[in-house]
Amino acid sequence: MDRGVSGRVTAILVCIFFFISAVHSFYLPGVAPRDFQRGDELQVKVNKLSSTKTQLPYDFYYLKYCKPEKIMNVAENLGEVLRGDRIENSVYTFHMMEEQPCKVACRVKLDAKAAKNFKEKIDDEYRVHMILDNLPVAVP
């Protein structure tokens, strides 16, 4: 008789466990997969400049890169906010499954100060962090 009772108790506990786990599940925005159709616009987002040599991160637009008319913070999920990332829009866009020739995003004339700043960041081995569909864009 004890085995029958313990079997029922076990079955009840298993059912309660599954019910509780289903009730406490949640969804983080920006994590779910997205489907794209041919021609859909894909926007490249920018994050920061970082270096393993100096450990001092900079905002992406700290250097004189091509900038959109209005820079907007576009963090897509809670993890980005908790890590302190500043995800922003950029001038770079692609279209799904469409070949595009190389394009000039903009032309920037660097003065001596801006050129020196670029050189210092290159010497300190800074890397740009860009994001496409919530995945990092590879940089050589």
- pLDDT at res. 136: 85
Task: Decide: 26 and 112 in contact? Cβ < 8 Å.
Answer: no
- pLDDT at res. 18: 61
Q: Say if residue 5's pLDDT is above 90.
A: no
55-72 pLDDT, tens digit each:
888 989 999 989 999 999
Q: How many residues does the chain have?
A: 140
Give Rg (Cα) of the chain.
24
122-136 pLDDT, tens digit each:
999 999 888 888 788
* d(C-alpha 27, C-alpha 22), whole Å: 12
pTM of the predicted structure, to 2 decimals: 0.67
Please enumerate in sequence order all residues whose Cβ is within 8 A of that of 60, keeping only pairs 6 or more positions apart, or say none. Answer: 46, 47, 48, 49, 86, 88, 90, 128, 129
